Amino acid sequence: MQRIGVLTSGGDASGMNSCIRAVVRKAIYHGLEVIGIRRGYSGFIDADMGPMNLGSVADIISRGGTILHTARSERFKTKEGRALAMENVERFGIQGLVVIGGDGSFTGASIFSQEHGVPVICVPGTIDNDIAGTDYTIGFDTAVNNVVDAINKIRDTATSHERTFVIEVMGRNSGNIALAAGLAGGAESILIPEIPFNVEDICKKLLNGIKRGKLHSVILVAEGAASGLEIGQQIKALTGFDTKVTILGHLQRGGIPTAFDRILAARLGARAVELLMAGETHKMVGIRAGEIVATDLTEVLGKPSPINKDMYHLARILSI
């Protein structure tokens, strides 16, 4: 193998740049050339790509987002679109591909590899931490820290005004961000899609807190579980409490990646290059119990990534 391509696809995640940097520099260290594919599969089809060198990835390790940019592509979901991408593979002499993204990006990579025989190694980059086969995905730790920082600031106002605050966080259909940030931020209640909840029970907990002298409460809601606005309205109607709602939205995604995300991204990116050099394909690199592992994409795609119920129960106990 002499030349590989690298792209980022789907939602951006802090740490992607660290992964790109690792792929480029690891490949060059071993004498490989690297083609950077811009704007995900859209750029793959449109030939929006070019060679990368050591300088291409200088000073990006601390930057959020992705220097290769990212986009979702409906055209790549078609055979015709993937055929155009294959023409560019041949035109640029790409012999292997590193795809950094989430489940949708992996599905596209899997189909493309099987149709055209191009070796593909995937790297999990998504704030949602909802990919099977890995304990953590690139960007999750940064997103959690962003939410905890917001909780800390909102709690100051909640305390000053003796109010109840409902904070809605991202995560698609996963409650991982809400759970981790809620435990770290001391939220009184954490609502996630994986575990049923009752608003009346939440209100009872709030009322009991008031009886014992509690002046404020913070409730975290995962977007896949419910609307933060609706939960806030229900709480206000049932308790009469002055309830405010904050929807953090895309504030969670960006920002300087944490050291954990930078290190994880570097290790995964470097391992992806090693796997391509070893002739491997149709694999995802991940981390389990601190060790970098490779899992076949058939064991990853469409498979559930279960919530840590022990952590959820601990959060409930500590929020009494």
Q: Which residue ranges make up the annotated binding site for substrate? A: 126-128, 163, 170-172, 223, 244, 250-253
- The residue among 222, 170, 231 whose CA lies nearest residue 193 is 222
Q: Which residue ranges make up the annotated binding site for ATP? A: 11, 72-73, 102-105
The span from the CA of 269 to the CA of 23, in Å, is 5
H-type alpha helices, the chain: 16-29, 40-46, 79-92, 103-116, 140-161, 176-185, 199-211, 228-239, 259-277, 309-318
What is the residue type of 188? E
User: What tokens appear for 279 in the block?
Assistant: 């002739």
128 is catalytic: yes
H-type alpha helices, 93-198: 103-116, 140-161, 176-185
Q: Which residue ranges make up the annotated binding site for ADP? A: 21-25, 155, 186-188, 212, 214-216
Which candidate in 12, 46, 48, 128 is catalytic?
Answer: 128
Q: Which residue ranges make up the annotated binding site? A: 11, 21-25, 72-73, 102-105, 126-128, 155, 163, 170-172, 186-188, 212, 214-216, 223, 244, 250-253
Give Cα separations from 79 to 87, 112, 243, 281 (angstroms). 12, 9, 51, 20
Q: Which residue ranges make up the annotated binding site for Mg(2+)? A: 103
Q: What are phi and psi of 31, to 5 degrees?
A: 85, 15
Q: How far apart are the first and last CA of the chain?
A: 58
Enzyme catalytic residues: 128
